[in-house]
Structure 1
């Protein structure tokens, strides 16, 4: 591996590693050097479930959350020094909120299992972590890895009759590499038949001895579904007995695209994941690339990144606020919220040149510096919004109808949230003051003064008021950016930033050559792996990038909060009424592009 970025090897100085070695024996693990500092251990397939169970229940400050589960096709990877031989690798990332809150040891741990064969098998982790269900279905769908014992191993992102597993290296990445698509009547009929919902396939009964259940399709085209999202309800009258969320209608292969775009040209694709998050989508991606390349971002660029990320937190929360109230019957607030949202977009456009999808962050910094007059526009907005939030408080949040429709509806506690991988406002509404900007500050958030809003009951109403208060805290953060904006460069002076400043390209041949290569091919990022997570608009979002020493990513993994949040729906809504489901869906604050990628 290249030496431009620091590498660390998990060892006996880590209390969890010591515990694992004592419990399973040091020979059971192979440590891996990492660029992100996360302890990474390779585990044998037959032991992975026992290791996961021990980390969840058998260690001090346990890892109660399965944060992510994904895979890598290793067969074409060249830089695999000191790593176990593998055709495929399954990767588990575990998160311990207790370690974050007490700053004790490394907050996360990454486990890997090396697999061999064309369609390898691995024991399911659903017996330890319930939310492993969808993640394992996704890995089987996209890689063809079989999880023995999984309760319902079927396609989740792709149509039931899809042929192949797209994230395998032999699968084509471009439409031009496929045969022309032809949809004849027979194929259409077979595809439609495959989409029919059969309750027995999901372990559901069609009725009891005395009555039949009704099965109702909500979506994928329904205004309350908030996108191309289908949920099949098993009903006993108005009561929801059970339900099956059905996703994938919005899947565009965003992770596959990462394998054929340069490190720089992939930035605009990140804008389209949570398409309401704007530049906040760029942030974990460029930070992960910077970690791989060993790039230090200047203070001015860091502060601007924080300021613009908080602007997009506000625009996203304003849309959530308006549509949430619309779903529970209030028609007016969405129009007021959109007026304020447009005022924020006016500032965003003046700074970045675009509104919803600026793709403005760059590897090493920003696309350009702040324009003249930016401070006046920012000041006008942050003086305007708090007054409007006060009006929203009186007109909507204290409205008796809103309260009665949402209080104690779709409630869950902190333990349930962690079991399902719920983060962001959904977790904080349960009373857990967990915000990555405080517990693991990045971009300089440790220098800012703000509070973490929390709820009490973990219900739909708490999820509403938490996000409204988060907008007030975002205003506080932006005010501090405005008052303390550092001077200096807006991008790192590093050969792997993209591209070097144009005004320097005619002054020396080295910079001209670098500029030419960066624009033509893109930077060559040193081989290695790095994962970076941030507190995005809807929860924890991260990019886990694998570089093979090329101009493109070997593997781009996007972990989004919305995917985890939709998987939680059945466990929360069983036994409640259909109108409660509508309020619950609205309170989750998800975007289907964030789910399906």
Structure 2
């Protein structure tokens, strides 16, 4: 029993129903539903070295599961994952729900960030949270019937009737999209002044995708912001339950579509934890090298579009041109560009091609000079500074309260990077600095990302100089079928090869979580296996979801023009929010 599990066991005694062993070795405790608020409040506010961040909140429909491994009886399980920065550790709490109408008390009084997470659990599973300030659907349309992540809900379009949109239904859908201020507790007046409501999006260049903000305005000043997400929702987690372990990898590329193989990274590592697969050193270093190339590629997209949002045209063309140089390297190595889905369970798809060093070295030699030029064009530009310095400010404490990770957290002066604090894939062997700033404003978030590109170049150079010899993929039977030449010698090997190629591997029953320092913050996959060829539950913890929930908190009181700068500085992707 871990120290924190022992503390909770002593403090809450009969309220701790069970302590579960998991493949990721996180302390995992089952808690009585009636005491979950007390336990969470204790972990955040009272325990020594507290768990200040609500890292994730999700649920599992247990009704079709076969391998519970002694876990408490549960029709639905609500899962809370917390992060303590002082302990540098996670804890996972699970609450079993057995009622036909599952209900739990809301924890929005403890973490305001729980608002969207609880709405998502209600939307996807039908679990209600008593005391929630506005419990309504968040990803699905308000007119949707059923809860998609329940096991009884269809997973494929072929399991449903043909889609139809008669005029009567179209009217209902249009009415459901109408924003009603009174439903959100908003007034039409403020101290006898009339307020205006403005729709920003879902089709607006400043929202960088199909994202809608309803703004309550007093002249040019923002009084209230109501984000409306879900327009880009494609059921990525539901698809994780129907695809085999290998065939789901291409879907991960499309979650944060600018991060490329970095989306594969946490998924394949979580599967590897489930199966106990050891990855060769060469594959680990290749993964790091390709991920850092995609960090540069993604940051270049952010840099150029952010400058464009604030009125500059030249930088976006130059930066996209440099991004093409990165994607040319990606294409030469993987055969793909934005979505190469090149990582594999146990390693990567193939070894590095002839001439890879020269190609990457040319870019490493070329790019630093360009970054200096961009500093002169953008970061030293007086208009850019006027639009970003002192705008969208928040503190380290506020960032942690709302679940902010990545550059947005480090811009407040907090030196926290998962590559350093909880290194994975061999990052502990690399020398690089963690860029931080102090003011937590739009300008400082920019400074951090720009310096990150320079540090990525350092990491990539070390990959070139110290690339290990050896295999690019594990020979573990769950990730690599027997070699073809061996299948002709005995029937067992032939059957093994056939089953793995046609059905895919069967992963041992259990659960595991793995996360990476992705381009926009911390990205993680929580996987539950029921001892089958596909995942029983695939949970994707994306950074953009909490980041956009935080936007109203840092934008109120500013103008619409300031909101454009704040949105650009957050650096989100809609598919990362909606999944």
Q: What is the TM-score of this pair, normalised by structure 1? A: 0.96
Q: Is the 8 A contact 1:16 1:59 kept in 2?
A: no
The residue number in structure 1 matching 2:436 is 454
Tell me, in whole angstroms, the C-alpha distance in 2 between the residues paired with 1:314 and 1:199.
Answer: 42
- Give the alignment's Cα RMSD to 1 decimal: 1.1
Distance 1:556 1:377 in 2: 37
Equivalence for 2:391 = 409
Partner Cα separation in structure 1 for residue 482 and residue 446 of structure 2: 44
Structure 2 distance, partners of 1:271, 1:218, is 28
**Count, aligned residues:** 579
> What's the CA shift string for 1:126-184, capped at 9, x where partnerless?
01111000000000000000000000000000001000001000001110111111101
Partner residue of 1:480?
462
Residue 86 (structure 2) aligns with: 98
Separation in 1 of the partners of 2:454 and 2:484? 39
Match of 1:61 among 36, 49, 52: 49
- TM-fit CA distance, 1:33: 1.1
- Alpha-carbon distance in 2 for matches of 1:131, 1:239: 25
Could you tell me how far apart the structure 2 residues matched to 1:276 and 1:512 are? 40
Given the alignment of the two structures, is residue 172 of structure 1 paired with residue 154 of structure 2, yes or no?
Answer: yes
Q: 1:399 to 1:74 in 2, by over 3 A?
A: same
Mapped contact 1:258–1:553 kept (Cα < 8 A): yes
- Change beyond 3 A, Cα 1:545–1:487: same
- Match among 125, 131, 137 for residue 143 of structure 1: 125
Q: Which position in structure 1 is the counterpart of 2:271? A: 289
- State the alpha-carbon separation in 2 of the partners of residues 393 and 516 from structure 1: 55
Q: What is the aligned partner in structure 1 of residue 530 from structure 2?
A: 548
C-alpha deviations, 1:315-361, integer Å up to 9, x for none? Answer: 00000000001001111100010011000001110000100000000
Corresponding residue number in structure 2 for 1:119: 101
| Map of 1:429 onto structure 2 | 411
Q: Which position in structure 2 is the counterpart of 1:276?
A: 258
- Which consecutive unaligned segments of at least 5 residues does structure 2 have? none
Give the conservation status (yes or no) of the 8 Å contact 2:101–2:127: yes
Contact 1:272 1:357 in 2 (8 A): yes
Structure 1 residue runs of 5 or longer lacking an equivalent are: 1-10, 101-106
Between 88-97 and 504-513, report the one with greater CA deviation: 504-513
* Partner in structure 2 of residue 35 of structure 1: 23
What is the deviation of 1:504? 5.5
Taking the aligned partners of 1:356 and 1:503, their CA distance within structure 2 comes to 35
Write the distance in 1 (CA, Å) between the matches of 2:119 and 2:538: 18
The aligned runs of 1:203-222 (5 Å cut-off) are 203-222=185-204
Q: Which moved more, 1:154-163 or 1:175-184?
A: 175-184
CA contact 1:327–1:586 (8 Å) conserved in 2: yes
The CA distance in 2 between the partners of 1:110 and 1:55, in whole Å, is 11
2:462 and 2:576 map into 1 onto residues whose CA distance is: 30
CA distance in 2, matches of 1:477, 1:28: 44
Task: Report the CA distance between 1:82 and its aligned residue.
Answer: 1.2
Give 3-state SS (helix, strand or coil) of 1:259's partner: helix
Alignment of 1:245-394 (within 5 A): 245-394=227-376
Name the counterpart of 1:494.
Answer: 476
SS in 2 for 1:98: coil
1:81 Cα deviation after fit: 2.0
After the TM superposition, which of the residue ranges 571-580 and 481-490 deviates more from structure 2?
571-580
User: How much has 1:203 moved relative to structure 2?
Assistant: 1.4
Q: Which moved more, 1:112-121 or 1:264-273?
A: 112-121
Structure 1 residues 508, 354: CA separation in 2 closer, same or farther (over 3 Å shift)? farther
| CA distance 1:29–1:376, change in 2 (3 Å) | same
Q: Which residue of 1 aligns with 2:181?
A: 199
Offset at residue 591 of structure 1 (A)? 0.4
151 and 269 in structure 1: CA distance in 2 versus 1, 3 angstrom threshold: same
SS in 2 for 1:99: coil
The alpha-carbon deviation at position 394 of structure 1 amounts to 1.5
Q: 1:205/1:531 Cα in 2 relative to 1: closer, same or farther (>3 Å)? A: same
1:574 and 2:548 matched: no
Of 142, 154, 160, the match for 1:160: 142
Residue number in structure 2 paired with 1:4: none
